[in-house]
Amino acid sequence: MTSTDPERRIPTSERRSERAAAATRLAALDLLRERGYQALTVDAIAERAGVSKATIYRWWPNKQAVLMDAFLEASAGEIDWPDTGDLRRDMRDQVGRLVEAFTDTPLEQTMRTLIAEGQHDPALAQAYRERWLAPRRAIARGALERGVARGELPPGTNCDRLLDALYGPVYYRLLLGHDEADEAFLDWLVDHVLGEAGKR
Amino acid sequence: MTSTDPERRIPTSERRSERAAAATRLAALDLLRERGYQALTVDAIAERAGVSKATIYRWWPNKQAVLMDAFLEASAGEIDWPDTGDLRRDMRDQVGRLVEAFTDTPLEQTMRTLIAEGQHDPALAQAYRERWLAPRRAIARGALERGVARGELPPGTNCDRLLDALYGPVYYRLLLGHDEADEAFLDWLVDHVLGEAGKR
Amino acid sequence: MTSTDPERRIPTSERRSERAAAATRLAALDLLRERGYQALTVDAIAERAGVSKATIYRWWPNKQAVLMDAFLEASAGEIDWPDTGDLRRDMRDQVGRLVEAFTDTPLEQTMRTLIAEGQHDPALAQAYRERWLAPRRAIARGALERGVARGELPPGTNCDRLLDALYGPVYYRLLLGHDEADEAFLDWLVDHVLGEAGKR
Amino acid sequence: MTSTDPERRIPTSERRSERAAAATRLAALDLLRERGYQALTVDAIAERAGVSKATIYRWWPNKQAVLMDAFLEASAGEIDWPDTGDLRRDMRDQVGRLVEAFTDTPLEQTMRTLIAEGQHDPALAQAYRERWLAPRRAIARGALERGVARGELPPGTNCDRLLDALYGPVYYRLLLGHDEADEAFLDWLVDHVLGEAGKR
DNA sequence: TGTTAATCGAGACGGTACGTCCAGTCTTGAC
DNA sequence: GTCAAGACTGGACGTACCGTCTCGATTAACA
């Protein structure tokens, strides 16, 4: 079980452990960024964070869970996005921001690692879906639904499928690496999937 | 460097080593299938294959490369597919076969593992792209190009992008696991990406 | 420094701390008896005694010192023994009681542990000598000296050496375990060391 | 089970492992001598011996067993002693050599540690008795038996008890430390236990 | 047919990280 | 002010696996 568990132990002194926990999350991200995946060991995290291994294992089941928390913290903040009334433009902006967040940033390596580890760690995969994907998909789904309401998309559109058609190719290029998820591709993709009809 | 290297050592006695190599590949697949990723150790492969670790390391740089070879061998065979003259139907069949190959088969776990490891192992990722993806994409690209020629797709269509729009969502659902890549989804996806226009 | 130190801190509230200290000593003995040496951890003592670790460390430098105090408390009581006028009989009785105290009782394991730890902990060894051995040797030495005075032992007898000759073999068998310190052995030993001459 | 087991695994290459094993034993002794008991960790032994922990654990169950082997190796050599025909003199020489071997030498600390650990480790205690004590006691018993045959000791003497009466006080002083096992004490002890009668 | 060199299995080796446990210190809040 | 509760650092434990290595035995091709 990852720290996802809402019933995780509450330390007597929230302040003490929170300092250690924050240092741990930061150390995990920094290590991964600076020295790569193979340097991401619990010992190294502990040493860099100035925290003992026992403390890490007290709050997380393994280093993947640490990284998950660090990833969520680092990508926290406002995740909603404005509705300009132009669905295609909004979706294009949003997909562009997603790619930006994952290109040449510490988060790219972190995301890759989490998805990779998630292939063998169901709890981690679930945490990625529930804690990262789901909220963002909910917002994008809302935008699509408003697009349907506004007539930019046909009535009866299955928005979840549409989300997969939009985000799938992006993840595919990011994870498989056979081609870049560059501006031109995103332009084309959003147009193609949302339909050229609405294009101005 | 993976065994992809064309200059790999050639054993004096091809027969002896080939027996060992085949047993090694088989053992890797079987272990992964039966006991999962965490049981896939070089020691375990060696023991199960009745082969020494030294022999494994003589022919492959690491267990990922073994698994890559095993994966390629297991998914070898005729990869071309017939051209019925109906692009949508052909693409739908083909995507269906891809998903079948990866659903409830030993290959699913193997593919997941290879892509996961590839996130931290550029040589492995490259091998996956060049030795597995590329040939299959080339065939599918050919089909799309014939579709363009036949007028089923508009002239000037960028077939690589179209491939990503078709396969991306499938890998996305397989790797992220938020939803199933079922028949209905594939039906919708192929129709949506190749354009409803051509639909009868 | 062990709790041997006569200048140990005096708690403001003697009553509270004495209750905690008594529970701690008892818990140490019980743990050692019931679950063995490897279960004798400070955490376990604290939990069983319903006392916090901080309290234990407030009054003792380490668990060995706790055990020393517990041992002394458990073996307290009248340590003097009557003088029947027959030295050999008195010594034989006394050696017998020593062995009884250490055979099939919680004290055996405790004594073994204290002597074992004392091999690497000079303060503990000193405490064992000064607080347990010395008083008992003083009494036995008195008995021997009276034996000299009564003519049961030759004048000029070095009583300390005689004590070692009497008690040494007993501890030797108890600690090394190559043979039992049984009644027959004690009979022979006392006779042999005190001299058959005085035997009736 | 300690390495005492005569059926311990035989390495493919005796030479390789023997080098590692010898370095391990030496490192254990040196560490104990130079830095004391608390520095005697498996990690430290491994580092000092230039050997990996895995190798140590391959051949010994724990560090105590390493130390036992090191102790036996260090105290190996001729353990028999000449029979001059004068039992008292021979025993006095022998007890003197025992004390010498354990006074101000690396072996003293080693012996203390082994006996101490043996209080909680039956296998270790047994190994000490069988592999160190027993051979030496057998030789001394032989000497006593010859003394009986020569009439230096009374017929029917129980030599095992006599051994305990001789060695017990020596170990007692060494382990408890209340007094020194010096020349004068040994002189008196041997005379007193073997009987003044035979004294010339 | 006998010799020789490559290759094999077996498995020991140094190294590194794991996840656990305990010692001894420190912090907080209840009494 | 003292206590229990328990989090903290530090560090050793014993295990597992990696990738390298050494060893004889087996093999296959050539002498």
Can you spell out the DSSP letters for D162-185? HHHHHHHHHHHHHHH-SS---HHH
Residue of B nearest to A114 (CA): B116
pLDDT exceeds cutoff 70 at B113: yes
What angle, 0 to 180 degrees and rounded to 10, lies between the N-to-C axes of helices D106-118 and C106-118? 160
D112 phi and psi angles, rounded to 5 deg: -55, -45
At C35, is the secondary structure helix, strand, or coil? Answer: helix
Predicted TM-score of the model (pTM): 0.88
At least 3 CB pairs under 8 A between chains A and B: yes
B-chain residues near A178 (CB < 8 A): 129, 133-134, 137
C-chain residues near D133 (CB < 8 A): 176, 178
Q: Which two tokens stand for residue D158?
A: 């129980």
Q: Which two tokens stand for residue C46?
A: 């604290």
Q: Return all residues near A29 (Cβ < 8 A) that are at least 6 apart.
A: A67, A70, A71, A74, A106, A110
B96 phi and psi angles, rounded to 5 deg: -60, -45
Tokens 């010498």 found at: D100
Report CA A13 to chain centroid distance, whole Å.
30
Q: Up-side HSE of residue A29: CA atoms within 13 Å toward CB? A: 18
Confidence at D4, pLDDT banded by 50, 70, 90: very low
Q: Which of D102, D176, D192 to mutate to test the interface with C (most CBs of C within 10 A)?
A: D176
pLDDT digits (tens, 9 = 90+) for B129-167: 999 999 999 999 999 999 999 999 999 999 999 999 999
Q: What CA–CA distance (Å, rounded) separates C24 from C47?
A: 9
At A58, is the secondary structure helix, strand, or coil? Answer: helix
Nucleotides of F under 7 A from a protein CB: 1-24, 27-29
Residue type, A174: L
Residue of B nearest to A196 (CA): B195
Handedness of CA D102, D106, D109, D115 (dihedral sign): negative
CA distance D101 to chain C (A): 17
Lowest-confidence segment of A50-54, A71-75, B43-47, D78-82 by average pLDDT: D78-82
DSSP, residue by residue, D126-154: HHIIIIIIHHHHHHHHHHHHHHHHTTSS-
Q: What CA–CA distance (Å, rounded) separates A61 from A4?
A: 11
What is the average per-residue pLDDT within A57-84?
Answer: 94
Count of C-beta atoms within a 10 Å radius of residue A122: 10
pLDDT digits (tens, 9 = 90+) for D89-146: 999 999 999 999 998 888 999 999 999 999 999 999 999 999 999 999 999 999 999 9
What is the average per-residue pLDDT within D34-54?
Answer: 96
Q: Return all residues near A188 (Cβ < 8 A) that are at least 6 apart.
A: B158, B161
pLDDT exceeds cutoff 50 at D14: yes
What angle, 0 to 180 degrees and rounded to 10, lies between the N-to-C axes of helices A159-176 and B183-194? 80
Q: Return all residues near C32 (Cβ < 8 A) that are at least 6 apart.
A: C39, C40, C67, C106, C109, C110, C113
pLDDT digits (tens, 9 = 90+) for A27-38: 999 999 999 999
In this prediction, what percent of chain D has a pLDDT beyond 70? 90
Tokens 């990503």 found at: B164
What pLDDT is recorded for position A119? Answer: 97
| Listed residue (B163, B67, B179) closest to B118, CA to CA | B67
What pLDDT is recorded for position A104? Answer: 83
Q: Whole-number Å distance, CA B40 to C1' F16? A: 12
Q: What CA–CA distance (Å, rounded) separates B168 from B147?
A: 20
The answer to whether A65 touches A2, Cβ cutoff 8 Å, is: yes
> Which residues of B fall below an 8 Å CB-CB distance to A?
36-38, 112-113, 115-120, 125, 128-129, 133-134, 137, 158, 160-161, 164-165, 167-173, 175-179, 185, 188-189, 192-193
User: Do C36 and D120 make contact, defined as CB atoms within 8 angstroms?
Assistant: yes
Q: What CA–CA distance (Å, rounded) separates B153 from B147?
A: 6
The answer to whether A111 touches A131, Cβ cutoff 8 Å, is: no
Of B171, B188, B189, which has the smallest distance from its Cβ to A172's Cβ? B171
Confidence at A172, pLDDT banded by 50, 70, 90: very high
Q: What CA–CA distance (Å, rounded) separates C152 from C155?
A: 9
CA distance C47 to chain D (A): 23
Mean of per-residue pLDDT scores for chain D: 90
Q: Whole-number Å distance, CA A59 to C1' E20? A: 14
Q: Up-side HSE of residue D102: CA atoms within 13 Å toward CB? A: 20
pLDDT exceeds cutoff 90 at D10: no
What pLDDT is recorded for position A144? Answer: 97
Q: Which nucleotide is nearest to B17 (CA to C1')?
A: E7
C-chain residues near D189 (CB < 8 A): 161, 164-165
What pLDDT is recorded for position A6? Answer: 36
Tell me which of B125 and B7 has the higher pLDDT: B125
pLDDT exceeds cutoff 80 at D59: yes
- Classify residue B126 as exposed, middle or buried by CB count within 10 Å of its CB (0-12, 13-18, 19+): middle
What pLDDT is recorded for position D15? Answer: 55
Report CA C184 to chain centroid distance, whole Å.
23
Q: Whole-number Å distance, CA A55 to C1' F17? A: 25
What is the average per-residue pLDDT within B11-40?
Answer: 84
pLDDT exceeds cutoff 80 at B76: yes
What is the average per-residue pLDDT within D154-166?
Answer: 96
Q: Return all residues near B183 (Cβ < 8 A) that are at least 6 apart.
A: B96
Q: What CA–CA distance (Å, rounded) separates C16 from C107?
A: 27
User: Do C115 and D119 make contact, defined as CB atoms within 8 angstroms?
Assistant: yes
Q: Which of C175, C179, C188 to mutate to test the interface with D (most CBs of D within 10 A)?
A: C175
Instruction: Report the 3 state secondary structure along A121-157.
Output: CHHHHHHHHHHHHHHHHHHHHHHHHHHHHCCCCCCCC
What is the average per-residue pLDDT within D51-72?
Answer: 96
The counts of H helices and E strands in chain D are 10, 0
Confidence at A196, pLDDT banded by 50, 70, 90: low
Of D173, D175, D179, which has the smallest distance from its Cβ to C175's Cβ? D175
What pLDDT is recorded for position C15? Answer: 53
What angle, 0 to 180 degrees and rounded to 10, lies between the N-to-C axes of helices B87-102 and B106-118? 90
Q: E strands of D22-143, at which residues?
A: none
The 10 Å CB-count burial string (b at 16+, else e) for D6-40 is eeeeeeeeeeebeebbebbbbbbbebbeeeebeeb
What angle, 0 to 180 degrees and rounded to 10, lies between the N-to-C axes of helices D14-35 and D63-74? 90
Q: Which two tokens stand for residue B24?
A: 């090694």
What pLDDT is recorded for position B2? Answer: 40
Q: Which of B136, B178, B180 to mutate to test the interface with A (most CBs of A within 10 A)?
A: B178
Mean of per-residue pLDDT scores for chain C: 90
What pLDDT is recorded for position A195? Answer: 82
Of A128, A165, A176, which has the smallest distance from its Cβ to B133's Cβ? A176
Can you state the percent helix, strand and coil of chain C, rounding each to 5?
Answer: 70, 0, 30
Q: What CA–CA distance (Å, rounded) separates D11 from C105?
A: 45
pLDDT exceeds cutoff 70 at D61: yes
DSSP symbol at B151: T
Q: Return all residues near C64 (Cβ < 8 A) that are at least 6 apart.
A: C2, C114, C117, C121, C124
The answer to whether D23 touches D50, Cβ cutoff 8 Å, is: yes
Q: What CA–CA distance (Å, rounded) separates A42 from B196?
A: 52
CA distance C11 to chain D (A): 33
Mean pLDDT by runs of 10 across the 200 residues of chain C is: 42 63 94 94 95 93 96 90 94 95 91 97 97 96 96 95 98 97 97 70
Nucleotides of E under 7 A from a protein CB: 6-29
At A73, is the secondary structure helix, strand, or coil? Answer: helix
